[in-house]
Amino acid sequence: MKMIVTCFLSLAIMAACNTNADVQQTIGRKADTAALVQRTLIIGSGGGFTGIYRGYRLCSDGRVYGWSAPAGGRDTGTILFTDPDSVAVFFGMIDAMNFQQLNYNDVGNMNWYVELQQHGEEHRVQWSTSPPAGTLVEFHRSVSAWVMRRSKQGE
């Protein structure tokens, strides 16, 4: 059941990234609605007693979305619009760690994941109590901390 909900959330997030309807003015700048999203990076975590999942979606055009919703729900909104170069750093990091070659799917009560969507394909690495070897856990923390820091700058 959790896997179905996780897949549903991923599809809902991917659909939202492809629409320009929710592009809004944030931090004093207007988003370029003509920008083409070529890559999307999603990090998230959740589960447990509440079943709530939280995460961020970084689009290659600089839009950053955040959500916090119970499994099966959706609460997504643009929280930040930044220069594409700002998010390109994270896409470079994910490429440097050969993310597409990582195959790890350990689900449990609480789950963390990183997903890369590009060229119509998705690749996800998910873990619970035993994280994968390497730098992916630190990458997850770094992206989350960066988004929280940048979104607070705009308040």
The CATH number covering residue 11 comes to 3.30.1560
Beta strands in the chain (DSSP E): 39-47, 52-59, 63-70, 76-81, 110-118, 121-127
The confidence score (pLDDT) of residue 20 equals: 34
Query: Torsions phi, psi of 90, nearest 5?
Result: -70, -35
B/e letters for 107-129, b = 16+ CB within 10 Å, e = fewer, are eeeebbbbbbbeeeeeebbbbee
Coil, strand, or helix at residue 131? coil
25: Cβ–Cβ under 8 A, 6 or more apart, which residues? 31, 81
What pLDDT, in 10s, does the model give residues 44-85? 999 998 889 999 999 999 999 988 887 666 656 778 888 999
Q: Would you mind telling me the total number of residues written for the chain in this entry? A: 155
Predicted pLDDT at 75: 57
pLDDT of amino acid 134: 86
Provide the domain limits for residue 107. Answer: 2-153
- How many domains are there within the chain? 1
At residue 103 the predicted structure's pLDDT band, cuts being 50, 70 and 90, is: very high
Beta-strand relationship, 52-59 and 63-70: antiparallel
Q: 145 exposed, middle or buried (CB, 10 Å; 0-12, 13-18, 19+)?
A: exposed
Is residue 122 pLDDT above 90, yes or no?
yes
Task: Specify the pTM.
Answer: 0.73
CA distances in angstroms from 94 to 134, 140, 153, listed in the order given? 12, 10, 25
